[in-house]
């Protein structure tokens, strides 16, 4: 059996990834972790968890999977937060953004590695990163900073695995590029005076530069299914072209 823990499965990339693995074979089991459930499948189970609440995240525990072939954690949930310059942000939204984008994924990674350290299964962690974690975008301070944080957290874990544990776990932080999701809807609804790149994101939609989540999900799945082809921790799906 293969077990895929995926956060944010109610819509967008998380739902597309869940459906991909549910359709890929009877030996796949998908476990969704999010506030709402929108998938009904005999091989899907759901844990209702609000990942902006770190106390709720701390209460989640990964169960044992004896004789599993693969166990994967995909930290997909994320939020751009308020699209406003620093000085105009709500403090509670800053906290929620960091909790969802960085703190809860870090807690889940810690729990996942602790739970399956002795398992003989193939063990993979994938964090959904962002190009925004590589360079600053005005009015996205919390999003940029938290995605940069998950990139470096991932690199530290990979370094630990490489130097001390002989790669018991493979860890990736993968930027998905431009996806046609609710987050893009939110970005396009920003106030022009608060976001100087608003027209760029409006044009991405007009010019059909936003890819469907199913297309991006297949690229993530290719990486997960062929980890030996990808020695680096930080990846972008725009550079991924499946070879077979």
Report the alpha-carbon distance of residue 59 to residue 42 in Å, rounded.
25
d(CA 170, CA 232): 10
In angstroms, rounded to a whole number, what is the distance separating the alpha carbons of residues 128 and 174? 5
**Do 186 and 140 form a contact (C-beta atoms < 8 A)?**
no
CB 24, CB 50: distance < 8 Å: no
Query: Pick from 73, 71, 141, 142: which is nearest to 107 by CA?
Result: 73
Active site residues: 143
- Three-state secondary structure of 132-171: HHCCCCCCCHHHHHHHHHHHHHHHHHHHHHHHHHCCCEEE
**CA 128 to CA 143: how far, in whole Å?**
12
The conformational region for residue 171 under phi > 0 = left, psi -120 to 50 = alpha, else beta, is: beta
Cβ-proximal residues to 193 (8 Å cutoff; 6+ apart), any chain: none
């Amino acid at each position: 059996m293969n077990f895929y823990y995926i956060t944010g499965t109610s819509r967008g990339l998380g739902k597309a990834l869940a459906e991909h693995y549910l359709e890929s074979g009877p030996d796949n089991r998908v476990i969704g972790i999010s506030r709402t459930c929108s998938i009904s499948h005999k091989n899907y189970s759901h844990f209702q968890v609000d990942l902006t609440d770190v106390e709720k995240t701390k209460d989640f525990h990964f169960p044992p999977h004896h004789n599993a072939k693969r166990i994967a954690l995909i930290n997909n949930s994320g939020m751009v937060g308020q699209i406003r310059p620093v000085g105009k942000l709500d403090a509670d939204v800053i906290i929620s953004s960091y909790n969802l984008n960085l703190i809860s994924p870090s807690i889940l990674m810690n729990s996942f590695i602790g739970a399956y350290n002795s398992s003989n299964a193939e063990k993979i962690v994938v964090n959904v990163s962002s190009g925004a974690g590589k360079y600053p975008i005005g009015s996205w301070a919390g999003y940029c900073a938290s995605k940069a944080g998950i990139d470096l957290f991932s690199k530290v874990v990979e370094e630990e695995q490489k130097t001390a544990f002989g790669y018991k776990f493979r860890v990736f932080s993968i930027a998905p590029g431009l996806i046609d999701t609710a987050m893009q809807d939110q970005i396009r609804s920003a106030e022009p005076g608060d976001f100087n790149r608003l027209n760029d994101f409006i044009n991405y939609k007009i010019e059909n530069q936003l890819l469907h989540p199913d297309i991006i999900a297949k690229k993530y799945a290719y990486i997960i299914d062929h980890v030996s082809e990808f020695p680096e921790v930080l990846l972008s799906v725009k550079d991924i072209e499946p070879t077979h």
